């Protein structure tokens, strides 16, 4: 059982790695302001105020900003497009 435990711990750590590394990167990287792929302006970090915090708009806009400026955004968009092709099947011809 001891050796199995070691495996589980290694596997769990391995697995937590992407969460932590993307999390840290997402905080410290410089945010893009426009997406050339989508041809639109990306959400920018909302300005903090007590009113927007209590009305819930601050946290909502912050989440939108967070998704818009997520690291490797264009790569993930590409993966998502591939996925959509499977789901949204259009036979050739």
Partner 1 sequence: MVFSSLFFLYIFFPVAILLYFVSPTLKIKNFVLMLLSLVFYAWGEPIWVLLLIFSAVVDYTNGRIIGKYRGRWQAKAAFVASIAINLGLLATFKYSGFLVENINAVTGLAFPVPSFALPVGISFYTFQTMSYSIDVYRDRVKVQKSFGDFLLFVSLFPQLIAGPILRYAELEEQLHDRKTTPDGFFYGITRFLGGLSKKVLLANYAGAVVNTLFEQGGPIVDLTVPQAWLGILMYAFQIYFDFSGYSDMAIGLGRMFGFQYSENFDHPYVSRSVTEFWRRWHISLSSFFRDYVYIPLGGNRRLQVRNMFVVWALTGLWHGASWNFVLWGLYYFAILLIEKYLFKRVLEKIPRFFSWFYAFFAALIGWVFFYFTDLGRAGQMFMTLFGAGNGGLWNIETRVLFTNNIFLVLICAVACTPLVQNIARRFISDFKEKKIPAGVYGSVAIVANTVMLLLCTASLVGSTYNPFIYFRF
Residue 22 binds partner 1 (CB under 8 A) = yes
How far is the C-alpha of 64 from the C-alpha of 48, rounded, in Å? 14
Residue 28 binds partner 1 (CB under 8 A) = no
What's the alpha-carbon Rg for the chain, to the nearest Å?
A: 19
How far is the C-alpha of 77 from the C-alpha of 44, rounded, in Å? 19
- Identified binder of partner 1 from the candidate list 29, 40, 45, 59, rule CB under 8 A: 59
Min dist CB 50 to partner 1, Å, is 10
Of the candidates 78, 69, 10, the one whose C-alpha atom is nearest the C-alpha of residue 44 is: 69
Residue 34 binds partner 1 (CB under 8 A) = no
Residue 76 binds partner 1 (CB under 8 A) = yes
How far is the C-alpha of 31 from the C-alpha of 73, rounded, in Å? 11
| Binding positions for partner 1, rule: CB under 8 A | 3-5, 7-12, 14-16, 18-20, 22-23, 26-27, 53-56, 59, 62-63, 66-67, 70, 73, 76-81, 83-84, 86-91
């Amino acid at each position: 059982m001891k050796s199995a435990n070691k495996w589980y711990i290694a596997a769990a750590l391995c697995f937590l790695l992407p969460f932590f590394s993307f999390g840290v990167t997402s905080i410290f990287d410089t945010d893009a302001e426009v997406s050339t792929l989508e041809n639109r302006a990306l959400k920018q970090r909302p300005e903090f105020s007590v009113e927007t915090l209590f009305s819930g708009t601050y946290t909502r806009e912050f989440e939108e900003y967070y998704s818009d400026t997520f690291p490797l955004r264009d790569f993930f968009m590409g993966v998502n497009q591939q996925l959509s092709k499977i789901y949204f099947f259009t036979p050739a011809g």
